[in-house]
Amino acid sequence: MTEILDDSVRPLRMPDATDLIARTLAEDLGVTSSRLLDRVAHDVDLLMRDATTSAVVPPGAWFSGVVRAREACTVCGLPVVAQTWLLLGEAAGFEDPVEFHPLVAEGSRVEAGTAVGEVEGPAWTVLAGERSALDLLMILSGIATVTAKWQAEAGPDLKVVDTRKTLPGLRELSKYAVMVGGGTNHRKGLWDMVLVKDNHIRHAGGISAAVIAARDAFLGLEIEVEADTVEQAREAAAAGADFVLLDNMDDEMTAQAVKAVREIAERGGRAVSTEASGGITFDRLSGLALTGVDRVSTSALTLAQPVDFGLDEVDG
């Protein structure tokens, strides 16, 4: 096997993807995910669900191949690929596992045609798991690739942040891919941060009332408040928000709001971060960096176009 080409990128800890992988494989095989997760009774008939492979490939056939990037990208999801084939092989009860060996480090930038991993194992397992493994690799690499591009354009002082706009069921892995691409995670969900938006403000009776209520209810959580105007940004900072989200502002208004928030923060002797959101495009990043805003958030990261990968068999 070829040695890993680039170990300069330190991989982040990947979230547990077992349930997601099982559901992905189950969808392709037309079974329940519990059938993939039952490690007590090995399901010898599971791979018969791949009608094509079981019909035309001899049961004892062996497969050796490489996973290759078909376009330039930032690679993300190699541990998921390995786990997909491992889980499928274990569920089917094959004594010989599929071995996947990465040839690049997670987070590496590669050119089109680069082999990112080698795979060896029973052909039935490799081919039955191919689509699931590559689909996850394609989606996560797409997110990491776009994130790396956006963060490079934003520069070192402006953080590019994701949102909760993710494909259902892919939240944790999508945010992992953002980190692999060099971006920053926003809140994971509704439970780990308070984000007061216009509907909340209306029901609470104003920005200050909303911040006070949130602080009383969840003392340990950071609070972010959405502001549509410079005056609302000023009010949110004065009320005690930790972050002020500057929503759908042009660059000029963003700069004014950032200045107003910083003046109040300095007066109060505490830090208040600013975040631009809404209508954020790649072309705006360099201009937004000049406004002094601390970070920009966009769904363009987690809803990125997948990167194309393929599995090519090679002579053993």
- 187-191 long-range contacts (CB < 8 A, ≥24 apart) are 189/164
Q: Active site residue: 188, 197, 202, 267, which one?
A: 197
Query: 249 is written with which tokens?
Result: 């502002």
Q: Active site residue: 23, 109, 165, 262, which one?
A: 165
CA-angle at 108, arms to 105 and 112, nearest 5°: 115
Query: 256 is written with which tokens?
Result: 């004014």
Q: Active site residue: 131, 159, 215, 259, which one?
A: 131
Query: 234 is written with which tokens?
Result: 């000023």
226 is catalytic: yes
35 is catalytic: no
Q: What is the DSSP string of 238-304?
A: HHT-SEEEEET--HHHHHHHHHHHHHHHHHHTS--EEEEESS--GGGHHHHHTTT-SEEE-TTTTTP
Beta bridge partners of 247: 277
50 is catalytic: no
162 is catalytic: no
Q: Active site residue: 50, 120, 224, 226, which one?
A: 226
Question: How far apart are the C-alpha atoms of 114 and 191, rounded to whole Å?
Answer: 40
165 is catalytic: yes
| Burial environment of residue 101 by CB neighbours within 10 A (0 to 12, 13 to 18, 19 or more) | middle
**Closest alpha carbon to 160 in 257, 305, 294, 13:** 294
Contact 254, 288 (CB under 8 A): yes
Q: So which residues are the catalytic ones?
A: 131, 165, 197, 226, 247
